[in-house]
Chains A and B, each alone.
Chain A
Amino acid sequence: MPSLTEWVLFIGSGLSAGCVYAVVGLGFVLVARVTGIFNFAQGAYVMIGAVVYAGERASGMGMAPAIALALASATAAAGFQKLLMRNDPSGEGGFGTAIATLGYSIVLEGFALWIWGEYPITAPAIVKGTITIAHAPLPAEELLVVVLTIVALACVGAGLQYTTIGKAMQATAINQSAARLSGISTRRLAGFAFLVAGLLGGLLGVGTASLSTVTYSMGLTTGIVGFIAAALGEFRYPVRVVVGGLALGVVEAILSGTVSSTYSEVIVYGILIVWVAGRSLRNADLRSWLKATLRANEATPAVLAETSAWTLPAEVSSAMNGAANGATNGATNEGSTPGTWSRGTAAPVATGPAGRLRTAVTAGRVLLLTLLAVGIVLPLVDTNHIFDQTAVFALLSAVGATGLVLLMGLGGQLSLGQGMFYLLGGYCFALLVASHGWNEWIAILLAVVVSGVLGLVIGLLCLRLEGINLALVTLAADLAAITVVTNFTSLTGGSLGTSALVNARPIAPLVAFGVAIGQGKTFYYLILVLTVLVLFGARNVAKSGIGRALRAVGSDEPAAEGIGIAPIRVKLVAFVASAALAGVAGALWSYYLLAADPSQWGLTLSINLIVFIIVGGVTSVYGGLVGACVVSLASYLAVSHVAPGSPFGNAITLFISGGLLIIVLRFAPTGLIDGLRRLTDLTRSPRFLGRLPLERLRRSAELPVPAIVVGGRPSGVTATAADREPIISPGPGFAPAPGRTPTAARQHRHRDGQGQLPVVTVSDVAKAFGGVAALSGVSVQVASGEVLAVIGPNGAGKSTLINVVSGYTAADAGTVTVKGRLVHRLSPRGLCERGVVRTFQTPRTFGDMTALDAVTLAVESDRRFGVGRAVVRWPHLVRRERRAQRQAADLLVSLDVMDVHRRIESLPTGQQRLVDVARALAKRPACLMLDEPAAGLNDHETVKLGQVLSELADHGLGILLVEHDMDLVTAIADRVVVLDQGRVLTQGRPEDVMREESVLMAYLGEA
């Protein structure tokens, strides 16, 4: 048991170390709150302060000027960084910008290496001597550091509370847009935040220079631990950050002193992982999460169309199932004639959108073929070994980076631990072959399997995490893995690697079909073939259902779940695939170097992989390859040709990788591939874009007339014309059939006997948020073929009602049944399977997905997505996919959305809402719930929307409509429920409800 003196020493030294973490964390929070940027260069400011102060003192400069210069340098570094960075207007801390700060940190490291070299430097203490507490001698300098930290926190806190600029910073932290509208210059504030963060870092650097081994590389590790401290304070609460940082330092010191210095880091990382993961679980419904996790791999039940009270009209049904008939309708080549819509092909290929698509596809193929040709030919031309090996490691990195693209670029999962899977794959291979004499190919296969399993474990651990928390946990796992491998000497050989193991055998060359593959050019071509196969598979995955599901989950998980996607399963698939790819790359890496040792796969590799995919383009499956090639080639040229034999080779490499990252993020934030795509997009001109008239499409496609038509009666419609008359008062562009009124339409539905069967029944539902009762004893019922409108003033509980019914919020009391079955606490996916689908107030764009892709995803989401099948794209699967695309296209066209290949985000708001409706309809719901669908629509669009909904109800769909547009409500609603302060005020026919005094009171506050 440590003595009191020892405890004082542990705590004292821990506080000193913790102060550094705390102030770095404080800098993180300050910048993040005001600018939305997670600034990984914060640790570099400490490094700059320390090296400048120590360096100048070593050169003979006096203390005061050295301090001043150090502070000025760190502050200037931060200010210059701000000039390079953009604000993140969303305030959500986009990871691209965060990675750019990492690039800047790398560049600063390069400068420090260049100027001050690699040896440690130190400085005389600012405050000399020791202070003894309980016989424990504590350096006075450590107490200075603690005092500096307290002063820094006090100044920051007081500044934020009591100064105008501080209050402006707080306002900006809460809501940037509102702050801007209030006249606050957020740009200047952002600059100020960076400067303060730089000053804080420099201050700590100066204060700790005499206590540290000051080197150019100290910034990264300092930054990482500071980042952890900031995470402990949730990147929001300065006091918590400081307390967290201090606690980290003290815990680390106590663990080192009492348990193990070897594994103290691992224990700290483990605590962090448990804390972050546990906090996420605590915030979630644990029972639902467990249920969902266990059910993730269950087969999804078939859509319950046959049990639904709603039946599709025959024409729509045949259109949605049209692929079976389509093959016989004289298919033509895709895109061979402008405007042709060929059966058996994926989607309408129109001149405008498809022309642009064709150009982009062509440009991409040319780029890839060029890269492939260069890759094949160049090693034959250039016999430079450095180049050969640069190419080999670029390709090996590209393989793992491609996995990272699937995980991060498509799936939106920010992982900083990809190097860990290289490590595992490499060691697995080396140990099996060198220690146990396994066949090399079997060892590679097993390395892939083992890495995949670890990916599954990490994925399960990180399921509930997102954004920066996920980055934190994966980073901690990576660091922990390196520490374990380095110290588990008996198994891994420790720092010397597997070649140091007793009885280690040499690794024999791979032999494939009688051909020996050594470490020369043959190995390069093996890796080239592997890379091509990986890219081919990744491309297929991205184009397939699982790729669409990944993108949907990555960009909008709640909405994805709402259309039947299983986010947990999709994310796990991404983790496993990404890990497996890194595993095979690690195994081959190990083979190439003939052994595994921990220095090959450190944190630097994980960071480099991020750099590669950011430079190449994180949303393109080729981004990893392009980024790896560009960065590696640039470094090679600089070191080997521009500055050959330079002692600053390392510094040059740092400049290049960090600099490229910054430049790309500044000028081509979506990466080089997307930048190239934009340059070669020759058909961006508006005259090539535009909608094709429905008439021309239908005539050329020989399609049956879609039953649901908006915008007027198309020519050639013959059947049940009366059913297709627009119901809403005519807007510009069409004329209603004579004799039809809204009331008549509703009576028409009731006369046919529809609107009787209850689809969704909400009974006595209550929901409170904190002390506020959002819903209180609410009971409503939606019948099939009925439009039930829910209205009420703001804050009445309308959206909460939809959220409860659709499974996004759990009710505190009451029940919800769907077709007589209790669905209490069912997930949105479960409710989707039961036939309840919703749209959202803000149309869901699913990132950069096209309308066609989004609706296709909904059509096919009932099937289980498999990566294995997606990689190869078997013909029957392609045909099935094409059928789904045709169904999706039919739905979209029937809703008058013609630009099916356009990104949803680029469509007008009205069209976006119709895409949402199409996506919902693709699930063949029994009840469709719409949350303010008319918001932001003009009169014409509102009319069209009303016609669509009315037609749907006519055919038996139950609709729950939350709306503020009374004209729309009056025109199409069969019944209206009025909510006020979470309670049902009244309900009945629209014309009756609108006249009730209580309703007028609720809205207007007076009769």
Chain B
Amino acid sequence: MTPDTLTPGTLTPGTFPPGTFPPDATTVRAVHDDFHGDLLEVSMGPHHPSTHGVFRMNVVLDGEIIVKLQPVFGYLHRNHEKLAENISYLASIPYTDRLDYLASLTNNWAYVIAVEKLASLTVPERGEYVRVIVGELARLINHCCLVGFLLNDLGTSFTPLLYSLRERERMLDLVEELTGSRMMCNYMRFGGVRVDPSPDWLARLKTYLEGDFPKFLAEQDALLTGNEILLARTQGAGILKPDLAINAGITGPMLRASGVDYDIRKVERYSIYDRFDFRVPLGDHGDTYDRYMMRMLEMHESLKILRQALRDIPAGPATDPKAKSRGLRPKPGEAYGRIEAPKGELGFYLISDGSPQPYRYRIRPPSFINLTILEDMCLGQTVADAVITLGSVDIVLGEVDR
């Protein structure tokens, strides 16, 4: 807090050389500027409750308005890609759980889809149904959390969050029963899944999805969706235009909130998504409210898919008995496989040189790329709006930093 140590007029928002905040920047510092008066440089995070983990935003403020924002991350970086280059294909599956740890089942799925493309493996019918069921369950869990945490960012002091976490725990109990773990599921295998769900488990999931979960959704809708404070705070905050969203590679609910009809479940129809009747919700304005609504509506659509999948699931093996998991040595070549994860397009790019370890293992993390335009969405907004804009992007630092 010593403005006199700085030369007046040298720091204007437009003339910041990229990436050169003063190296000795403390947490808060006033910068005198001839044109804008006093600018304030604030380092939000990495240990800040609104940043969803160890994420930092270097913000330059003119009064309460953001004139510059730089996301800083990497605090959780463990070079997952390098780790995977030194272990077998199978041994990477538990590591993928640690990417987006709120939805580990879809991470497993994206990885096994890429390996199945690389080694041309097939999945039996029942295996595909089980994958869809657990994948959509992961989407419900993720969106449930997101709605709760977003409302927490809005300052609701835990009531909606605890309602969400209560439902999430109920779903996690089912997941734990099936996979043995609440969050680190390690469930998918090349050519199928690790364990076949019992009829009893499927019946209880069905009961839950018929009864308690729709009740929770209706309750959240009634409590939140039309709430005046929520509308006042979120509508018009953090607007993302569709052209920029496409060019910046934004995917998932965030892209659809901007009105771009692109859902990989519909476009690529991977697995057996062509058999289900569901719709893709689209937003109109691309603001925080639309991003919130996308999550609420997608939960309804996931519920539809789950009901159909539970109705139609056939008997038979859940894993291809001929698929080789241990000691898998795909032929030399490369493959890029992707799915619609709850946060956006999750892809894996694998290169095999014929050895038991991948030569190159690359993850396309949706929440990392969705952060590209965080500054564009936050410029000209207040700090409080930046907090909810970041909350509506839905990042998990395990995936951003890898």
Do A and B actually bind? Answer: no
